[in-house]
Amino acid sequence: MSLFQPPLFLERCQAGFPSPAAEYTESELDLNNYCIQRRSSIYFVRAIGNSMLDTGLHSGDLLAVDKAEQPQHGDIVIAEIHGEFTVKKLLLTPRPGLQAMNPAYPTLWPYPDNLQIFGVVTAFIHKTRERD
């Protein structure tokens, strides 16, 4: 089975007017290399809900999560609180918290002993059109 690697164009795509240089390709795009830094520590999970809309993350999107990444302030993480998993923006100051990126949802301020991080979201894939 051969791996499909579509072309990656050299020119960036303006979110406005099309570029006349669309025929110049840089290389082939390998989504494994683009989304995955360490194969042994990556897993994928599908998002559900709307608490992260302001980051462009929608319900149904596929998340690439690296469990070996050291979580840093501002990272989007997969966390577990009281037996439930959630995807949120990690706050480390003034104290550990999980910030929703949608004003309709509150920031969570769990006790540090009740918060476990299961990985840092390194990429997400958002389909703009569903296929049958």
Which domains, ranges and CATH numbers included, belong to the chain?
1-35 (no CATH), 37-125 (2.10.109.10)
pLDDT in tens, 76-116: 999 998 889 999 999 999 899 999 999 999 999 999 888 99
Please give the radius of gyration of the chain, using alpha carbons only, rounded to the nearest integer: 18
From the list 48, 42, 58, the residue with the least C-alpha distance to 122 is 42
DSSP at 31: H
Which positions are catalytic?
51, 88
Q: How far apart are CA 63 and CA 50, in angstroms?
A: 14
Alpha helix ranges (H) inside the chain: 31-35
Can you give the pLDDT at residue 58?
Answer: 93
Can you give the pLDDT at residue 65?
Answer: 92
Reported pTM: 0.77
Can you give the pLDDT at residue 118?
Answer: 94
**In the predicted model, is pLDDT for residue 2 greater than 90?**
no
Can you give the pLDDT at residue 3?
Answer: 61
From the list 82, 88, 83, 115, the residue with the least C-alpha distance to 102 is 88
Q: Residue 106: CB partners within 8 Å, gap ≥ 6? A: 100
